[in-house]
Structure 1
Amino acid sequence: MNIYMLCKVQFHGLNIPSRWHQIIQIFEGYKSTIICRVIKWMRPASGIYKCNTDGAAKGNPGPSSAAFCIRNKDGDLVYAAAKTLIDGSNIVLGRGYRMETDSMTMKMIINAEWRIPWSISMLVGDIKRLMADQRVTVEHIHREGNGLTDFLTNFVFDFAGAVQFHNFQEFPSDAKKILNLEKLGIPNLRVRALQDKAPD
């Protein structure tokens, strides 16, 4: 019965029979369909600053963090920190910028494409007030194209409090590598399995 439940959870697209010999028959002919997409960080247009954001949590409930990284048209670091998005927005007031997040939910809420949950309505209101007089676009990027801020959200867990970086030389060596790879446009692969189907 435990194997049956495991199969139901792991392969929810398959019609898993309850008898052992039938489960074996299903998986003897099973093939998973994999799709790959090339994802890479793209430089902003001239005169625009790009602000990538990310968040992380160690458990639910548990400690959480947020990070942002601002880069110019050449992909060079302007400023990065592991702290709230609002603080990041304050840094770039008066400049046009493009904000990228790997949270589709955040993008849809800030762009008013989804209703704001009451539990975060005050925070979203603060973000929108900071964006009110700015040239700001908020777009979604897959996690594979948001490597630098993903690294920073996890890096900050090793420190008590926030970390800030004002230039490339202040970055830890792993962050320097990620920034250089993204700046050069080196792609990452996004690999996902499609909905599982039983064999013909």
Structure 2
Amino acid sequence: MYHVQNFHESDPQTLRDLIAEHPLSTLITLDTEGLNANLIPLIWFDDGSEHGALRGHVARANPLWQHFSKDIDTLAVFQGPTAYISPSWYATKAETHKVVPTYNYVTVQAYGTLTVHDDAAWVWAQINALTNSQEARFTNPWQVSDAPEDYVAQNMRVIVGIELKINRLTGKWKVSQNQPAGNQRTVHSHLQAEGDMAMAACVHARFKDET
């Protein structure tokens, strides 16, 4: 990923929080047919290593788990909020007119070694962890055990566990922090007016002092 210093994010907790909030990754592997991209929910686990691991599962019918290259890293891309930023939103437009459109975005990329877990106990633990992480925000969270045991067993037979042992974790937060303080604030106001509270919060978190 191309990095500009202003936008580079390396704080481990910030990166893990983005993964937790937006777990549907684009998992990119290389096989004999070339590059392959799959949308796979992945959740972060502390496995005692520097960057941790990402765990998920795929359909047994998906060739990903049998044909990925073990000689190069697999890449998981997590996409956070995005927003088009109009030049008309900048306070400096009226002063200089030297403004252009851009996109704000937040993203995390995790590189690492992919391994397969064709093991019922491992998959059971993974689907419970994934379900619980997503259901936690509901008043009456659904649990895997709410479904009939034989139905769950039937569904588990058609999935396979995967794990990405992360060796490099990096992020990019392009959220108007390269703009003067006045422009940051007018962008923030326009995003709120547009109802884009997610990106508005990202911009607000990187406000400069007015001085």
TM-score relative to the length of structure 2: 0.23
Q: Could you say which structure has the greater relative contact order, defined with CA pairs below 8 angstroms and 6 or more residues apart?
A: 1
Structure ranking higher in strand proportion: 2
TM-score relative to the length of structure 1: 0.23
